[in-house]
Amino acid sequence: MGWAGVAWRDAEYELAVVDGASVSGRTFGGGEIGQLVEALHGCAGVVVDSTSGVLDGHLTAAGLAVFRADPWLLPDRPSFGSAAALALARRGAAGDLPRLTVASGALVGRHEEYASQVARCGPVERELAGRFLARGAVPGTAALTFDDGPDPRFTPQVLDILREHGVRASFFCVGINATAHPDLVARIAAEGHLVGNHTWSHPYLPDLTRDELLRQVDATNAALSTATGGAGDLVRPPYGGRTPDVLRWLAGHGMTTVLWDVDAGDWAAPGVATIADRVTGAVGDGSVVLLHDGGGDRTQTVAALPGILRTLLDRAYTFVTVDHYRSR
């Protein structure tokens, strides 16, 4: 089996495989990531673009050889989809793309660009104070946040643990997942947690046009509204990837950007003890903690969570949802 490209379009995934002169393809529903991963076993490599972060953690966790092709290497995208699967597969066969692993994450090869764009955002973040937050100012409280779900395997386990400990949290959901699993989004909201917008397909926002950004945000708000009866105005940019323009656009669109001050780094599966230590070692008054209930194998996050909750409850923290940290 040759090179595979995986695309997203609306609420579906498209697979194309190029093997010498032969080309084949198949379509999967947004809830069929497991079947998609099965279909990829045996391929030489699988290529995604920088708008498809919803997928790469699942692909690397399955042990596949995963590569990212950036926009300047690809034909134009539709305004609500990634580059075409066939173009991705052909670009993979041509070689010389950065390889993604569980430990490297999706932005391998672009970390310097990421850091310089984030560094330029400081003044805008202060200017947008009412539409931007990374930490609260309420003594004795902390806010746990779970990104990249809902995921049918891990989100219910996280919800069960939170319920056992009487803890409320915030879930930044990916739209394509929310559309595939509206029952899970409804359960998150029904159990008193906050549901926020984590875009439709988990793109690196600095790569998007304004029109793409609009559709990523609005389609996700619509999916969350369908599942819960109403979407809030909180959005978390994938990877925290941002530019001054992106932050101003989100604020102008009525959205409040929520980042974090404590990063568990659980997406890289560094070990249960490391995840727990990073959180309990860094949490302070008003901390916003970044964890993940979807986007890959979250076994370690689920295993670390009870210990994190016990430790912080023993320190008399009250857990709040991130909307408690809006500036008033």
Least gap, CB of 293 to Zn ion (angstroms) = 10
The one among 238, 286, 294, 296 contacting Zn ion by CB under 5 A: 238
Least gap, CB of 127 to Zn ion (angstroms) = 25
Angle, vertex CA 259, rays to CA 119 and CA 169, nearest 5: 165
Least gap, CB of 198 to Zn ion (angstroms) = 6
| Site membership for Zn ion, residue 196 (CB under 5 A) | no
Among residues 151, 292, 293, 297, which one is catalytic? 292
Q: At what angle do helices 182-190 and 155-164 cross, to 10 degrees?
A: 10
CB 267 within 8 A of CB 299: no
Q: Which of these segments, 62-70, 176-184, 234-242, 256-264, binds Zn ion (CB under 5 A)?
A: 234-242
Based on CB atoms, which residue is closest to Zn ion, 56 or 147? 147
Based on CB atoms, which residue is closest to Zn ion, 136 or 296? 296
Q: Which of residues 134-163 bind Zn ion (CB under 5 A)?
A: 147-148
Q: Which of these segments, 211-219, 235-243, 252-260, 268-276, binds Zn ion (CB under 5 A)?
A: 235-243
Residue number of the CB closest to Zn ion reads 147
Among residues 147, 266, 293, 297, which one is catalytic? 147
Based on CB atoms, which residue is closest to Zn ion, 147 or 293? 147
17 beta partners? 4, 24
Phi–psi pair at 185, nearest 5 degrees: -65, -40
Based on CB atoms, which residue is closest to Zn ion, 167 or 174? 174
Least gap, CB of 176 to Zn ion (angstroms) = 13
Based on CB atoms, which residue is closest to Zn ion, 49 or 147? 147
Binding mask 23-62 for Zn ion (x = CB under 5 A): ----------------------------------------
56: closest CA among 146, 118, 148? 148
Q: How far apart are the first and last CA of the chain?
A: 57
Based on CB atoms, which residue is closest to Zn ion, 14 or 266? 266
Least gap, CB of 267 to Zn ion (angstroms) = 8
Q: Catalytic annotation on 293?
A: no
CB 66 within 8 A of CB 46: yes
Distance of CA 156 to the CA centre of its chain: 17
Q: Catalytic annotation on 41?
A: no
Angle, vertex CA 243, rays to CA 279 and CA 259, nearest 5: 25
Contacts with Zn ion by CB under 5 A: the residue count is 3
Chain residues binding Zn ion by CB under 5 A are 147-148, 238
Q: State the catalytic residues.
A: 147, 292
